[in-house]
Amino acid sequence: MIILRSTPSSLGVAVAALAAVLMAGCSQGPSTTAAPSAAPKTPAAPAPTATPPAAFAGGAVHVSLVRQLSSGDYFEQWLAGAQAEAKAIGVTLDVSSGEGNNDKQALNLEQAVNQKASAVIVDHGFAQTVQPAIKKATSAGIPVVAFDVDPGTPDAVTIDQDDHQIAEQSLGALKKDTGGTAKVLYVYVAGFAPLDRRDETWTQFKKDNPGITQAARIGVVNSSTAAAVADQAKAALQANPGVTAIFAPYDEFAKGAALAVKELGLQGKVKIYGADISTADIGVITEANSPWVATAATDPSNVGRIAVRAAALLVAGQQVDHALKVPPALITQDRLRQGGIANVQQLVQAIPALSTPDVARVAWAAPSTG
Ligand code: SR1
């Protein structure tokens, strides 16, 4: 098992907490400056209102993050958010990845349980490979947070990004742009819970919109998903010249589809409707003549933060909602270009709903940002 450790700096936590308390005190006092300050674009991080539980002293709480996948923009941003939040809260985050190998992920999960992690976050995975070890964890009293995977037990807290809404938002843009008539190339791989939920929406969408039909289906998830999807998409577009839209609800799929459309010179004809966002994705969407015109997404680093907060609350014996849903937003090429948005930080400022510091809020730490 590859384990990367994020150890909190207790001094850093204390300084951050003190600064937040001082700032809160300032904002409550009378203003001595004459000029009114501009309203902040993102909600101010709430100040800590409690001292950390004793168990959290000195980084003694170990949360195991057990991942199925780790390559690609989405998973890298998610991890960065989780690590920043672990540091802010004062937990040690032990990270392992199956790197796409489900047996390896199951083994890593078994190991985390055997080593008596304070809590476990299971990040993606196939139900049949992770559920036995999740059962072991909950039976041993180890709290479990399951992101984008069915834990098979009501004892675990689940997190997802409201995948039905992700697909609805992206398909809503496709319908609007095509006027409800289009032959669509669909990118999908079964077995990944978020993709399966998005597929349920696509299936219903086709029934509700008979003018929109699926010309072909492609898809692969591996360590170079975008390149593999690009090859498949090129072949599918050549075999199906009537295609005018691609529904690719994962950013690695959308990036691959964009490469294929560009290589075939079909930018004027074929538009791409995706999911997820990253600074690199924003670059692809906003470049001149880009076929990727809309995506529905959360801020992945925000989701990683929520997972760590939920795990910490469970360790502290505090209340957490049983099923946490992080709402996505529709992000169009027009909006990014018109707003001059070039990175995720600017995007979150433009759409503050992408930041959710109050979901699974930990009272003893200010949520991490950036
Ligand atoms: C292979 S599953 C990829 C998806 O997981 C997360 O839910 C992201 O949104 C991504 O689209």
**How far is Cα 124 from Cα 103, in angstroms, rounded to an integer?**
13
Distance between Cα 275 and ligand 1 center (Å):
8
Rg, Å, the chain Cα set: 22
Q: Whose CA is nearest to atom 2 of ligand 1?
A: 192
Q: What pTM did the predictor assign?
A: 0.88
Q: Two tokens at 133?
A: 């070890």
195 lines ligand 1 (CB under 6 A): yes
| For ligand 1, atom 7: residue with the closest CA | 194
pLDDT score recorded for residue 31 = 28
Distance 92 CA to ligand 1 centre (A): 25
- Which superfamily does CATH assign the domain made up of 18-33+163-297 to? Response regulator (3.40.50.2300)
Which of 197, 252, 276, 325 should be mutated for ligand 1, with most atoms under 8 A from CB?
A: 276
Can you state the angle between helices 73-89 and 279-286, rounded to 10 degrees?
140
C-alpha–C-alpha distance, residues 260 and 256, integer Å:
6
Confidence of residue 45 (pLDDT cuts 50, 70, 90): low
Flag whether pLDDT at 12 surpasses 60: no
Q: How far is the CA of 194 from the centre of ligand 1 (A)?
A: 6
Candidates 354, 311, 359; CA nearest to 119 is 311
Distance from residue 250's CA to the centre of ligand 1 (Å): 6
Q: Mean pLDDT across the stretch 53-75?
A: 95
Residue with the smallest CA separation from ligand 1 atom 9 is: 276
Token pair, residue 324, equals 């946490």
Q: Residue 205: CB within 6 Å of ligand 1?
A: no
Protein residue whose Cα sits closest to atom 1 of ligand 1: 192
8 membership: H or E segment, kind and range: none
Q: Would the pLDDT of 257 be above 60?
A: yes
pLDDT of residue 47 exceeding 90: no
**What does the pLDDT look like over 116-166, one tens digit per residue?**
999 999 999 999 999 999 999 999 999 999 999 999 999 999 999 999 999
Cα-to-centroid distance, 50 and ligand 1 (Å): 35
Extents of the domains making up the chain:
18-33+163-297
Cβ–ligand 1 distance for 73 under 6 Å, the answer no
Position 43 pLDDT exceeds 70: no
- 276 Cβ closer than 6 Å to some ligand 1 atom: yes
